[in-house]
Amino acid sequence: MRMSTYFLPTLKETPSEAQIVSHRLMLRAGMIRQTSAGIYAWLPLGWKVLQKVAQIVREEQDRAGAQELLMPTIQSAELWKQSGRYDAYGKEMLRITDRHDREMLFGPTNEEMITDIVKTFVKSYKDLPKNLYHIQWKFRDEVRPRFGVMRGREFLMKDNYSFDLDAEGARLSYRRMFLAYLRTFARMGIKAIPMRADTGPIGGDLSHEFIILAETGESQVFCDKKWLELDVLADNPDANGDLKDFFAKYTSVYAATEEMHDAANCPVPAEQLETARGIEVGHIFYFGTKYSAPMGAVVTGPDGQPVTVEMGSYGIGVSRVVAALIEASHDDAGIIWPDQVAPFKVALINLKADDEACRSTCDDLYAKLNAAGVEVIYDDRNERPGAKFADMDLIGIPWQLTVGPRGLKAGTVELKRRATGEKLELSLEEALAKVTA
Ligand code: ATP
Ligand code: MG
């Protein structure tokens, strides 16, 4: 992508309405634009990151055996009356009336709709288990939308729903999602700690919130410092196994939100306890027959008798994760994207756009990087070098490859690593080899 044509409306001033760093940086980096309170347009750079985050979520869902589908945003109130949640959900639900005076709503979540779909087609124990997910926009009319996409009203969520014949199967589905969540966040380069949670309005008997530690988090959390060393990707448990040992290992290390933490009875000694703020990026529930019973999701069991299916639901705030990643990784100059979710891998900077040698070298590097499948943003604008460096630092591209007239005479270019600031003088070939590796 050439900067001269890219739609990247970066801001020099700090927007006064933004209270937390991720919101400020997302606005300054031209990633989002607020269109109404708590509702945002995702501009090209933001959209690219959102898709990368969604893709990692998708790959880990697929790996765990969940299947992707897509349900609509607009739902019929009828289904919510069946489950009893239509009145219970309150003002967070955006209620809509269509031209035939039918009651509709913009979905805040999808338990009812997926239960209705599954019960229509799944009639026998032989059709179970099933685990279905989608990545879709939700609307919740939050009392206080704030912090940009961190707590929006319209936001992107991955939500999935498991259906099992019995409690044992449902607990296995839960453990598989527990692993999938740990892997998902680890792959994005962040540590999300599962904390035993209240089941709240969704109801049920087993639930974990996945929380990223960050100063601007909305909740107070407590965890054993051992959490900072656990590495689920290195552990790499067999996702098809029963995962009991894995689950026991990862739930035995203490971690709790304020609501669940009891200072007087905390099993972790004070010097071993980390007290921090946290951002909830995911939430998983096992709730048994809470929806399947009232909605009649029943299959024929192996003995010919009807069985009400056991369900769980699992959410990741995909759009919130983008902001949480920035909270976890930035400096005074801007965002520092982890490689796995960076909108571009390489920032190619031409220091002197009107110099013939610089231009042809950059055009050539740009072509080679594109041919090698490396995502590159090429600053080919006629701008001051300082402004170019500041923009690339702001948008957080992991590698900056700078071409200037002085280096070129000596046959070198400069390669900077955004995260560490480390700079290397390399030949063109060496620089190419390093960023295409
Ligand atoms: P919260 O306590 O933050 O309101 P929740 O318990 O209502 O979250 P869930 O219903 O479990 O959230 O939704 C799954 C995930 O969706 C959450 O873990 C969070 O990451 C994300 N999420 C929920 N509400 C919002 C919102 N208003 N804006 C952005 N993301 C959200
Ligand atoms: Mg909420």
Per residue in 214-256, pLDDT (tens digit) is 999 999 999 999 998 999 999 999 988 999 999 999 999 999 9
Closest residue by Cα to atom 13, ligand 1, is 315
User: Could you write out the DSSP letters of every residue in 229-248?
Assistant: T--HHHH---TTS--HHHHH
Structure-block tokens of residue 113:
């709709």
Report whether 225 contacts 213 (CB < 8 A): no
| Rg over CA atoms, the chain | 24
Give the SS3 label for residue 425.
strand
B/e letters for 126-163, b = 16+ CB within 10 Å, e = fewer, are eebbbbbbbbbebbbbeeebbbbbbbbbbbbbbbbbbb
CA atoms within 13 Å, Cβ hemisphere of 151: 17
Report whether 345 contacts 374 (CB < 8 A): yes
Cα torsion at 360, 365, 368, 374 (round to 10°)?
-150
Structure-block tokens of residue 204:
């049920």
Q: Phi/psi of residue 166, each to 5°?
A: -145, 175
- Among all ligands shown, which has an atom nearest to the Cα of 279? 1
Instruction: Tell me the CA–centroid distance for residue 168 and ligand 2, in Å.
Output: 29
Q: For residues 170 and 66, give the distance between their C-alpha atoms in angstroms, rounded to a whole number.
A: 14
The one-digit pLDDT tens for each residue of the chain (437 residues) are: 999 999 999 998 888 889 999 999 999 999 999 999 999 999 999 999 999 999 999 999 999 999 999 999 999 999 999 999 999 999 999 999 999 999 999 999 999 999 999 999 999 999 999 999 999 999 999 999 999 999 999 999 999 999 999 999 999 999 999 999 999 999 999 999 999 877 665 555 689 999 999 999 999 999 999 998 999 999 999 988 999 999 999 999 999 999 889 888 999 999 999 999 999 999 999 999 999 999 999 999 999 999 999 999 999 999 999 999 999 999 999 999 999 999 999 999 999 999 999 999 999 999 999 999 999 999 999 999 999 999 999 999 999 999 999 999 999 999 999 999 999 999 999 999 999 98
Instruction: Tell me the CA–centroid distance for residue 136 and ligand 1, in Å.
Output: 13
Q: Which of 283, 285, 286, 322 to mutate to test the pocket of ligand 1 (most atoms within 8 A of CB)?
A: 283
Instruction: Enumerate the H helices of 296-381 as residue ranges.
Output: 318-328, 356-371
Which domains, ranges and CATH numbers included, belong to the chain?
Answer: 21-335 (3.30.930.10), 346-436 (3.40.50.800)
Report whether 201 contacts 111 (CB < 8 A): no
Closest residue by Cα to atom 8, ligand 1, is 280
Instruction: Tell me the CA–centroid distance for residue 141 and ligand 1, in Å.
Output: 12
Q: For residues 251 and 298, give the distance between their C-alpha atoms in angstroms, rounded to a whole number.
A: 32
Which DSSP helix (H) or strand (E) runs through 116? helix 111-121
Three-state secondary structure of 159-197: EEEEEECCHHHHHHHHHHHHHHHHHHHHHCCCCEEEEEC
Structure-block tokens of residue 253:
């290390």
pLDDT 10s digits, 372-411: 999 999 999 999 999 999 999 999 999 999 999 999 999 9
Instruction: Tell me the CA–centroid distance for residue 151 and ligand 2, in Å.
Output: 9
Residues with CB under 6 A from ligand 1: 109, 140, 142, 151-152, 155, 157, 280-283, 315, 317, 319-320
